[in-house]
Amino acid sequence: MKNAKLKVSLLGCGAIGRTIVENSGDEYEILAVFDRNTEKAEELAGICSAEVAKSMEEFLEYASLSDVVVEAASQQAVRECPKILECTNLVIMSVGALSDSELLEKLINTARESGKKVLIPSGAVGGIDALKAVKGLAEEVVLKTVKHPESLKGAPFFKEKGISENIEERTVLFEGSAIEAIRLFPANVNVAATVSLACMGFDRTRVIVIADPNVRENVHEIRAKGEFGELVFKVRNRKHPKNPKTSYLAALSVVKLLRDLAGEMRVGT
C-alpha cells in the first residue's frame, strides 16, 4: 500500500515552481506556496489547491508541516533559507548563492543542528552523479558554456574588461576559476556552482565562457580527468516555456528529485 504523499512547499512561484506544480500527482503534493508577488502565488495555488502564505513568517509555519521546501526564487531568497532548514529539508535551485562561503557554512551548520538536509538538484546539466563519485580523485574539472551573445548581455564582464557586448562571431570571452566566472557572469552562476559543489570547489573548477551567435540553445560541456579515466558530458538546453533564462531541464531535474524522495528506489548516485 502506498504511504501518504510527500508534502512539498514552494518558495518561488515562477517557471520552475509551475513545472513542480504541474507534475505533482501520486508521489508528492503541494502544501503551501509563497512568492513576494502574491498574484503569482495565488495563481499557482489555484492549480493545486495549496495554501498561500502571505509572509515569510506564515510560510515558515507551513514549512514546519512539510517534508521538504523547494526554493525556486532567487539568490536573495536563499539568504532566508537557514530559517526554513531549522524546521524541514530544503531543496535549493538558486545554487549560485552558495558561492558565498559564509552562507554555505551557515546552511550546513543549521542542517547539522536540525538533522535536516540541503538538497541540490543537478539542474541544467548532467553528469553530476559521476563528478560526485570522483570527488577527491579528479585532477581537473572544466565547464565550457556556450551561449548566444544576447544571453550574456548585461554581464559585469563587459564593463570590467571594456569589451563590446555586440559579438558577431564565436568568441572565447573568459577562462578562469568558477568563483571568478560567477562574479563576471552572475546569470550563469547556477551551473558553475553545482559543478563546483559536486567535485573540486569554486576555486579549482575551471570555467570557459564562449559567446556564439550561431547557437540557439545554452550548451554546457563538462570534462573531468583523473586516475579514474576521463568524463565528458554535454547538454544542449532548450529554454523553459515560461522563462527563457531557465533551462527546461533544470525544472525537470527538481521534479525527479521530489519523485525520488517520495519513491522506494533511487537510481543514480
Ligand X SMILES: NC(=O)c1ccc[n+]([C@@H]2O[C@H](COP(=O)([O-])OP(=O)(O)OC[C@H]3O[C@@H](n4cnc5c(N)ncnc54)[C@H](O)[C@@H]3O)[C@@H](O)[C@H]2O)c1
Q: Which residues are catalytic?
A: 220
Query: Is 151 within 8 Å of 215 (Cβ atoms)?
Result: no
Nearer to ligand X (CB atom), residue 132 or residue 225: 132
Query: Is 71 within 8 Å of 11 (Cβ atoms)?
Result: yes
Nearer to ligand X (CB atom), residue 59 or residue 157: 59
- Rounded to a whole number of angstroms, the minimum distance from the CB of residue 127 to ligand X is 13
Measured in whole angstroms, the distance separating CA 44 from the mean position of its chain's CA atoms is 20
CA distance 199 to 99: 14
- Interface contacts to ligand X, rule CB under 6 A: 12-17, 34-37, 40, 72-74, 76-77, 93-95, 123-124, 190-191, 194, 240, 243, 246-247, 250
Cα angle, residue 45 at apex, residues 42 and 50 outer, rounded to 5°? 130
Pair type for strands 138-147 and 171-177? unpaired
State which residue has the least CB distance to ligand X: 14
Our CA dihedral for 193, 142, 202, 181, rounded to 10 degrees, sits at -70
Radius of gyration of the chain (CA): 19
Nearest to 25, CA basis, from 43, 8, 42, 44 = 8
Q: Taken in order 13, 15, 21, 26, is the CA torsion positive or negative?
A: negative
Query: Is 134 within 8 Å of 227 (Cβ atoms)?
Result: no
